[in-house]
Amino acid sequence: MFLENIKHGSPRKGWIEVVCGSMFSGKTEELIRRLKRAQFAKQKVEIFKPQIDTRYDDVKVVSHQGNEIHSTPVPASANILLLANDVDVIGIDEAQFFDMELPNVCNQLADSGVRVIVAGLDMDYLGKPFGPMPQLLACAEYVTKVHAICMECGNLAHVSHRKILNNNLVLLGETDSYEPLCRDCYNKAMSRP
């Protein structure tokens, strides 16, 4: 499908941007910033998040700093294709919670001329690649890795350390359940009994 950019008369070109990092690193803040800039430029924007993410709001994407933007919660990545009609930019938050079809969905959108901006954790609480994020990072044209500050030593943090005992891969939580740690502090925390 060949789409025309109405404003400039040139072919629309799509691409994928991924913003990744640990919890409390500013991923959602950056996603919201990029989406609001696109809205300011009068581009048609749609934002999606996984239906299971209800931490701050059932519908809105909300950053830890309280910035927010309206979104559509969806149960699966295929729903994004069904709901993304006549848009210039698609935003997807908490991508790690989506199914493994998300990279295909993002590629289809980008191939049809849509700018796709995805934010998510690149690693789970065990420091392993999380859900569809590795595939998204591999096929994205632009990758931004943001960092939190280590709660133990003040260095750059890249891991979301789980502070409570729970072996479920998906555990929604905030500072009561997680803390950002650097590599050294994470390794020390994981070696404690």
Q: Encode the chain (193 residues) as per-residue pLDDT tens digits.
A: 233 344 555 566 999 999 999 999 999 999 999 999 999 999 999 999 998 876 666 666 666 676 677 788 999 999 999 999 899 999 999 999 999 999 999 999 999 999 999 999 999 989 999 999 999 999 999 999 999 999 999 999 999 998 877 676 666 555 578 899 999 999 999 988 7
**Full domain range(s) for residue 34:** 15-147
Q: From CA 66, how far away is CA 6, in angstroms rounded?
A: 35
Active site residue 94: yes
Q: From CA 40, how far away is CA 32, in angstroms rounded?
A: 12
What is the CATH classification number for the domain harbouring 26?
3.40.50.300
Q: Give the model's pLDDT for residue 71.
A: 85
Report if residue 159 sits inside a domain.
no
Report if residue 63 sits inside a domain.
yes
Report if residue 53 sits inside a domain.
yes
Contact 22, 155 (CB under 8 A): no
Name the helix (H) or strand (E) containing 2.
none
Beta bridge partners of 19: 119, 144
Q: Which of 17, 30, 46, 94 is catalytic?
A: 94
Output the DSSP codes for 4-71: B-TTTSSB---EEEEEEESTTSSHHHHHHHHHHHHHHTT--EEEEEETT--SS-SSSEE-TTS-EE--
Number of domains in the chain: 1
Which residues are CB-contacts of 172 (< 8 A; sequence separation ≥ 6)? Answer: 52, 53, 54, 55
Contact 112, 16 (CB under 8 A): no
Report if residue 31 sits inside a domain.
yes
Q: Give the model's pLDDT for residue 177.
A: 82
Report if residue 119 sits inside a domain.
yes
Entry pTM: 0.86
Report if residue 168 sits inside a domain.
no
Q: From CA 39, how far away is CA 2, in angstroms rounded?
A: 23
Report if residue 186 sits inside a domain.
no
Report if residue 163 sits inside a domain.
no
Q: From CA 104, how far away is CA 108, in angstroms rounded?
A: 6
Q: From CA 139, how far away is CA 191, in angstroms rounded?
A: 34
3-state secondary structure of 116: strand
Q: Give the model's pLDDT for residue 4.
A: 38
